[in-house]
């Protein structure tokens, strides 16, 4: 993630913090997000805003993308 993207994400999360819900979907496992963000100070701030009152839903099972239509 480049610096502009990190700052933009943090700005969005700060603007929304405590005001409304923010839904994030990702194929990147949550435990790798910190390393993906790369910059430790911004990663701490972003992850703090995301996890403060988060409800996490992790989907399991086979991907429906691989399902063949008959």
pLDDT band at 19 (very low <50, low <70, confident <90, very high): confident
Percent of the chain with pLDDT over 70: 94
Residue pointed to by tokens 């480049």 = 2
pLDDT band at 7 (very low <50, low <70, confident <90, very high): very high
Does some domain include residue 62?
A: no
Does some domain include residue 69?
A: no
**Helix H or strand E encompassing 29:** none
What is the average pLDDT across 14-18?
A: 88
Taking each helix axis from N to C end, the angle separating 3-16 and 40-51, rounded to the nearest 10 degrees, works out to 30
**CA-angle at 45, arms to 34 and 36, nearest 5°:** 20
Look up the domain containing 39 and give its range: 3-52
H helices within 1-70, ranges in order? 3-16, 33-37, 40-51
- CA gap 69, 3 in Å, rounded: 42
Does some domain include residue 58?
A: no
Does some domain include residue 67?
A: no
Least confident window among 8-22, 29-43, 52-66:
52-66
Assess whether pLDDT exceeds 60 at residue 70: no
Does some domain include residue 57?
A: no
């Amino acid at each position: 993630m480049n610096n502009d993207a990190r700052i933009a994400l943090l700005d969005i999360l700060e603007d929304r913090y405590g005001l409304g819900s923010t839904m994030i979907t990702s194929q990147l496992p949550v435990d790798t997000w910190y390393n993906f963000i790369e910059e430790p100070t911004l990663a701490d701030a972003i992850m703090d805003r995301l996890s403060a009152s988060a409800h996490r839903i992790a989907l399991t099972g086979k991907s429906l993308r691989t399902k063949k239509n008959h």
